[in-house]
Amino acid sequence: MEALKNFGKCPIIFLAVFALLASTLLSLANAKVHEHEFVIQATPVKRLCNTHSAITVNGQLPGPTLEVNNGDTLIVKVINKARYNVTIHWHGVRQIRTGWSDGPEFVTQCPIRPGDSYTYRFTIQGQEGTLWWHAHSSWLRATVYGALIIRPREGQGYPFPKPKRETPIILAEWWDANPIDVLRQAQQTGAAPNISDAYTINGQPGDLYKCSTKETTIVPIDSGETNLLRVINAGLNQPLFFSVANHKLIVVGADASYLKPFTTSVIMLGPGQTTDVLITGDQPPSRYYMAARAYQSAQNAPFDNTTTTAILDYKSAPCPAKGTLAPKPLMPLLPAYNDTNTVTAFSRSFRSPRRVDAPAEIDENLFFTIGLGLNNCPPNFSKNQCQGPNGTRFTASMNNVSFVLPNSISILQAHHLGVPGVFTTDFPVQPPVKFDYTGNVSRSLWQPVAGTKVAKIRYGSRVQIVLQDTSIVTPENHPIHLHGYDFYIVAEGFGNFDPKKDSSKFNLVDPPMRNTVAVPVNGWAVIRFVADNPGAWIMHCHLDVHIGWGLATVLLVDNGEGLLESIEPPPEDLPLC
Ligand code: C2O
């Protein structure tokens, strides 16, 4: 009563509080629950003149697009009718307190065995834009992937003029083979896996490949209207440039966080990353190619040098005269495959739309080297098993630890149940040996140690991680993805990170927020976040070839205080190994 009386004295404050409460309640009431069924199954898929039995979701490639609003809950029952183990990861979804639904196999769950099922349940909290989902088991995500579109809460709008259309543009890689066999062969030989045979846009390679013209992806637009392209790099191993002939792209978001809009003619996405761009039909009505091809920063490494296309098609384009063919669409100019300058200019344009609360002080200061390695041929191995450079086997590591997944229980389950012997908590949070990371590294540092080592992080701590590329074997732009969190990228640069010199350049005012950072080749990136989500969160290079070699670790964030700072109990149907 007393409080109400006081409110009576300040009608404006009262009204404001009331309006805020009402709108929160309204949007909570509007939050929806979306139920889906994902059937994992072998499906005949024809690409590049051949038909393969590909693992798909519900027979679709790409799989179903999920469309939700911020605040909604997703319940997805995954039924495994394929002959492989599978899990699904909701890439970029924070999974606050619901780490059991994150998906990476042997990290947060045992895989779903053939014939079994598991239901993922999670709520989108405070994220808007484009995310995606993919298998997180072996190389199944080559064909098991799809878009996850998160619109603003009901009644709220975009921070940019509402586009007339929205189109997901999912870039991916296609092997004219079974990707699981490609991986197996590489594991046997110790060499790099075969490169892909095509890139695809929404599942289709496009006009520049054999037997692919008829099914080319068509993206509609009309004169004067704007289309929001939600571009996703679902490729397994290749960072990609993307561009549209004669059209400017206005970048408005990435990884389900908004950005200060900026205009560019080309974007680059590492695998795992998403970028939302607006495109306006301001060119003569016709047909224009949109195209993607490799950004390749590793040296002396073979890569898929093909180009995938889709067609931006003006609805008002004049029909070709009778008996003539439609004119060939215009092709965009894409950067050279090794054009790191374009990548740098692009990533340095990223800003949050407004001032953000990036942690200014930090409690945990971590420094992770990321890079490849070569193991000498073990004595009991044959020559055929050591077909890496000079009779070695490829490997990769973070801080000289080559990550090995457990195989009898997941890390999160083992942590929750107190099962010993599954992992150790001695992941070095600083490089065990300091060296000139981007220089000519002594061969004695090329062989990491293997282990299931995790780093413990105290709940609520403000964390900084310096990600430092090494030039071991080759420097390379690594897309580093952290599960369970979005982070601010406060700086990036080339050479060795120098805390004295480089800390002064940190952007703590409006740094971009992401879930995957493309760490510059021969360089470094610094990320910051608050560890406010308990769970076992894998951090890994999103080039699948590097995950298999061990370029990963797990951040184990303990519960905080009370229920709201603790992970929920494990679901009853959580798979057992
Ligand atoms: Cu998109 Cu651990 O993955």
Residues 46-59: pLDDT tens digits? 999 999 999 999 99
Task: State the closest ligand 1 atom to the C-alpha of 538, by its place in the atom list counted from 1.
Answer: 2
Closest ligand 1 atom, CA of 483?
Answer: 2
Q: Which residue has the tokens 């969160």?
A: 537
Contacts of 487 by beta carbon, 8 Å cutoff, 6+ apart:
465, 513, 514, 515, 517, 527, 528, 529
Rounded-to-integer distance, Cα 156 and Cα 229, Å: 20
Distance of CA 357 to the CA centre of its chain: 23
336 Cα to the center of ligand 1, angstroms: 27
Is 532 strand, coil or helix?
A: coil
User: Residue 528 has which token pair?
Assistant: 């910051």
pLDDT at site 299:
95
How many angstroms separate the alpha carbon of residue 390 from the centre of ligand 1? 32
Kindly give the distance from the C-alpha atom of residue 89 to the centroid of ligand 1, in angstroms, as a whole number. Answer: 7
C-alpha 272 – ligand 1 centre gap (Å): 7
Strand order across the 478-482 sheet: 454-457, 552-557, 535-541, 478-482, 516-519
Q: What angle do CA 515, 572, 139 make, to 5 degrees?
A: 45
What is the number of alpha carbons within 13 Å of residue 186 lying toward its C-beta?
A: 20
Q: What end-to-end distance do the CA atoms of the chain give, in Å?
A: 58
C-alpha 533 to ligand 1 mean position (Å): 17
- In this prediction the pTM is 0.95
What is the crossing angle of helices 2-9 and 11-30, to 10°? 110
Q: Looking at the CA of residue 272, tell me the nearest atom of ligand 1.
A: 1
Atom of ligand 1 at shortest range from CA of 271: 1
Average pLDDT of adjacent 10-residue blocks, the chain of 577 residues: 44 52 59 97 98 98 98 98 98 98 98 98 98 98 98 96 98 98 98 98 98 96 97 98 98 98 98 98 97 97 98 89 83 98 98 95 98 97 97 98 98 98 98 97 95 98 98 98 98 98 96 98 98 98 98 98 97 96
Domain boundaries, the chain: 31-156, 160-352, 364-565
* Residue with CA nearest ligand 1 atom 1: 91
Q: How far is the CA of 220 from the centre of ligand 1 (A)?
A: 30
Superfamily of domain 160-352 in CATH is Cupredoxins -  blue copper proteins (2.60.40.420)
* C-beta separation of 427 from 527 below 8 A: no
DSSP letter for each residue of 11-68 = HHHHHHHHHHHHHHHHHHHH--EEEEEEEEEEEEEEETTEEEEEEEETTBSS-PPEEE
Atom of ligand 1 nearest to the CA of 104: 2
Residue 185 token pair: 């062969």
Say what the pLDDT of residue 23 is.
Answer: 54
CATH of domain 364-565: 2.60.40.420
Which residues contact residue 90 at a Cβ distance below 8 angstroms, ignoring those fewer than 6 apart?
Answer: 74, 101, 102, 103, 120, 122, 131, 133, 148
pLDDT recorded at residue 187: 98
Instruction: Output the CA 2–ligand 1 centroid distance in Å.
Output: 53
Of all atoms in ligand 1, which is nearest to the CA of residue 92? Answer: 1
Query: Can you give the pLDDT at residue 316?
Result: 87
**Which pLDDT value is given to residue 531?**
98
CA-132 nearest atom, ligand 1: 1
Q: Which residues line the pocket of ligand 1, CB cutoff 6 A? A: 89, 91, 104, 134, 136, 272, 481, 483, 538, 540, 542
Structure tokens at 518: 């493309």
pLDDT at 324: 78
Ligand 1 atom closest to 547 (CA): 2
Q: How far is the CA of 3 from the centre of ligand 1 (A)?
A: 49
pLDDT number for residue 1: 38
pLDDT (0 to 100) of residue 572: 97
Taking the centre of ligand 1 as the mean of its atom positions, its distance from the CA of residue 561, in whole angstroms, is 28
Topology of the domain comprising 31-156: Immunoglobulin-like (2.60.40)
CB 346 within 8 A of CB 151: no
Residue type, 349: S
Residue minimizing CA distance to atom 3 of ligand 1 = 91
Q: Residue 30: its pLDDT value, please?
A: 82
Residue 523 to residue 520: CA distance in whole angstroms: 5
Atom of ligand 1 nearest to the CA of 103: 2
Q: Ligand 1 centre and the CA of 384: distance in Å?
A: 31
CA 316 to ligand 1 center in whole angstroms = 40
